[in-house]
Structure 1
Amino acid sequence: MATTSTPYPNQRLQGAADQQGTSKEGGSMSRRQPIERRTLHDEIVSSLRDMITADEFPPGSKLPEKSLCDHFGVSRTPLREAFKVLAAEGIVELLPSRGVRVTQQTLEDIEEIFEVLGVLEALSGELSCLRMSEAEIARIRELHERMVDHFNKGERLPYFHLNQEIHECIMAGAGNRHLADVYTRLSGKVRRTRYLSSLSERRWKQAVGEHSAMINALESRDGERLFRILRDHLKNKADAARATLLATEAEHHETK
């Protein structure tokens, strides 16, 4: 996968020279307002996930610890705790005495993970049709409608957040801890890839239609139908992500 030659892939972390402080990692970042202590951990983890998902820190790149501390207005301790969470999710790798690196998956890794996720999510859908309450299903419908609103406005990242929340709610609704545990350990590894799959306008529109079919099957408690929809949904997502990644790699080689 492509990497960047710039010291800080996250362009939002760069500001005017008179508002920056130079870091040991070799660059400078605009300072962000310190995060409130009560939301410190969750906010840092969530922000880093989004930076990596949106390719601001591409696969294989190092996370600049000092500059990120300045960016968030925090010390190294809470930042390192956030790194541990992301490492447990498979999003980054902790390198002894060498810092933190964004996990780099091969195309084969990604395809194999999606094969497993397709089965896991399909099973979760079938079980959720049997076990979810009406209130839980209504909650997913509400999330879906908000997600569609972001789609209509062309807002990819907010759309993606709700998209992932819907999948996670269906997984939780299956009521199987072991199923959810395996899913959690795998899904983080392809979070960025799932986001990239929506960069194609055609695929994005197709995915919204698939989500509508998912919600309808869930509301009618048609477990067999939801099983098929989710399995095919993950396969289509994997195919779109594969095409995007191959195109990105080809573009990277052409610019060398």
Structure 2
Amino acid sequence: MSARPAETDQPAKEPRRKGRLHTSTVDALHRMIVTGDLEPGQKLREQELCERLGVSRTPLREALRTLAAQGLVQLTQNRGAEVAPLTLADITALFDVVGSLEALAARLACKAMTDEAIAEIGVLHYRMMLHHVRDELPDYFALNQQIHRAIIEGAQNPVLLGVWEALAARVERAKYLPNLQPNRWKAAMHEHDAMLAALVARDGNELGRLMEAHFHNGLAAILAANGAEAPPETAVDGSA
């Protein structure tokens, strides 16, 4: 009796490989947009990006559609793909809404989070502090985002989490801008020190106040960098 040929799991592996490629392409483009490597309004040329990322046109186009759904890319029939514009009005609206969401999450999280979960945020905080000391902004910012997400998730409110996640990509992009200013970055680190202390003390009202102020201070830094009288449709410049 002849042996049966060995079965292969190649068909099962193929979707996983494509999934990983899609995720890595989205992540790379997301990082380039958030950090300003790809600027607001910049046309996204497929050939150039394919060469830069080492991917073909199909995964690139799929990634661009994902980023368009997140509000980071605009797709138009005649112009193709470009980085979505970012105006002072956009940032003001985003910071007002998400600042309020995170203030609510803070009050809920102080009641709902376990001691272990709070301790994990403390570990992230001190790792973030180290990146600040080393002037490693991208690494600092990645941990910053993890901390904010951990507090949102710690609220254990799926409706709040869903609303926050729908805005997360655009907010992340806007939040990166103030930290390009050294004085604001230093102040933001001090604000996170106070936020951690309030979380450890489970003082939800104080943590909520601090988190909302954190967004307002970031917005003030962006407005100052662009001139107090800048009209709301002005494209932002966070480098001042």
TM range (shorter): 0.7 to 0.9
Distance 2:188 2:150 in 1: 17
Equivalent pair of 2:92/2:219 in contact (CA under 8 Å): yes
1:18-77 deviation per Cα after TM superposition (whole angstroms, max 9, x unaligned): xxxxxxxxxxxxxxxxxx867422222221112112212111111111211122221122
Distance 2:204 2:213 in 1: 14
Question: Which amino acid counterpart does residue 183 of structure 1 have in structure 2?
Answer: W
* Selected match of 1:138 from 93, 100, 119: 119
Equivalent pair of 1:196/1:244 in contact (CA under 8 Å): no
Matched, 1:60 2:41: yes
Partner of 2:191: 210
3-state secondary structure, aligned to 1:175: coil
3-state secondary structure, aligned to 1:58: coil
Equivalent pair of 1:194/1:241 in contact (CA under 8 Å): no
* Selected match of 2:104 from 113, 118, 123: 123
Question: Which amino acid counterpart does residue 194 of structure 2 have in structure 1?
Answer: A
Question: Which amino acid counterpart does residue 132 of structure 2 have in structure 1?
Answer: F
Matched, 1:171 2:152: yes
Distance 2:141 2:87 in 1: 23
Task: Give the Å deviation of 1:146.
Answer: 0.7
Matched, 1:105 2:86: yes
Distance 2:158 2:226 in 1: 32
Alignment RMSD: 2.3
Equivalent pair of 2:112/2:156 in contact (CA under 8 Å): yes
Equivalent pair of 1:118/1:231 in contact (CA under 8 Å): yes
Task: Give the Å deviation of 1:174.
Answer: 1.0
Question: Which amino acid counterpart does residue 53 of structure 1 have in structure 2?
Answer: V
Task: Give the Å deviation of 1:110.
Answer: 1.4
Distance 2:196 2:69 in 1: 30
TM-score, normalising length: structure 2:
0.83
Distance 1:132 1:81 in 2: 37
* Selected match of 1:152 from 133, 155, 158: 133
Task: Give the Å deviation of 1:199.
Answer: 1.5
Equivalent pair of 1:197/1:203 in contact (CA under 8 Å): yes
Equivalent pair of 2:198/2:204 in contact (CA under 8 Å): yes
* Selected match of 2:70 from 86, 89, 92: 89
Task: Give the Å deviation of 1:152.
Answer: 0.1
Distance 2:116 2:60 in 1: 37
Task: Give the Å deviation of 1:203.
Answer: 1.0
Task: Give the Å deviation of 1:190.
Answer: 3.3
Aligned residue pairs: how many?
Answer: 217
Question: Which amino acid counterpart does residue 211 of structure 2 have in structure 1?
Answer: L
Query: Structure 2: where are the runs of 5+ without partners?
Result: 1-16
* Selected match of 2:221 from 211, 222, 240: 240
Distance 1:220 1:47 in 2: 38
3-state secondary structure, aligned to 1:170: helix
1:205-232 deviation per Cα after TM superposition (whole angstroms, max 9, x unaligned): 1110111111111111111111111011
3-state secondary structure, aligned to 1:198: helix
Distance 1:102 1:38 in 2: 23
Task: Give the Å deviation of 1:246.
Answer: 4.2
The structure with more radius of gyration: 2
Question: Which amino acid counterpart does residue 31 of structure 2 have in structure 1?
Answer: D
Distance 1:190 1:251, change over 3 A: closer
Equivalent pair of 1:193/1:241 in contact (CA under 8 Å): no
Which segment drifts farther, 103-112 or 113-122?
103-112
